[in-house]
A and B are shown apart, each in its own frame.
Chain A
């Protein structure tokens, strides 16, 4: 069965960077896009961007351009999302979610989420 397992909770200071991982199993990792979505406490979902694990190509939401980097390691079926220059309002649960293609198939499977807390 398809599973996306994310890394554990992180606590970071303002100005630092955080790198969250998402390990995929149960399907061909390079055959699906991986999206990253975040949710601040008590708030809604916010789409951050996607990576094509096959080509390494990425597309980021304008809000995060310059601060976010999405990468992958196909040898271990793992996608990564690194967010730099952290601020307190980056405190959120970060999710990875897969999609078969860039648009039509939608986001289907989701990771369990990783809580990132930014605090001095």
Chain B
């Protein structure tokens, strides 16, 4: 069974920079896993932020960026705002099927 692993929680100060990562139990994450990133706030549906590693949707704020880093997919938030406090999920593609990571709870403090 494939497992996708994210940091359970991270804390960042307003205005700071933070990087969330997403690892696969099958090995290094590459562009062929088409990493997606989503933001979810309590009581809301997930909102798509990034697709195919680093591509932003038209509504994605510029401070969010995606990349590959050290064999993992990564989501970097630069100039963090209080409204960025949320749960963040990555999603990886495995040849027809998808697997979500367990999520990272980001606290802005």
Q: Which residues of A contact B (CB under 8 A)?
A: 35, 37, 44-47, 49, 59, 61-62, 95, 97, 102-113
Contact = CB atoms under 8 A, between A and B. Distances in A.
Contacts of B51: 104-108
B46 A103 contact: no
A65 to B, nearest CB: 11
B68 to A, nearest CB: 15
B93 A103 contact: yes
B99 A106 contact: no
A110 B47 contact: yes
Contacts of A97: 46
B34 A103 contact: yes
A49 B94 CA distance: 12
A95 B91 CA distance: 15
Interface residues of B, number: 24
Contacts of B103: 44-45
A18 B99 CA distance: 23
Interface in B78-102: 89, 91, 93, 96-102
A85 B34 CA distance: 33
B76 interface: no
B67 interface: no
Contacts of B100: 37, 44-47
B45 interface: yes
Contacts of A62: 97
Contact of B102 (A44, A103, A109, A112): A44
A117 to B, nearest CB: 16
Nearest to B103: A44
A35 B51 CA distance: 15
A98 to B, nearest CB: 10
Interface string B31-55: 0001010101000011110111001
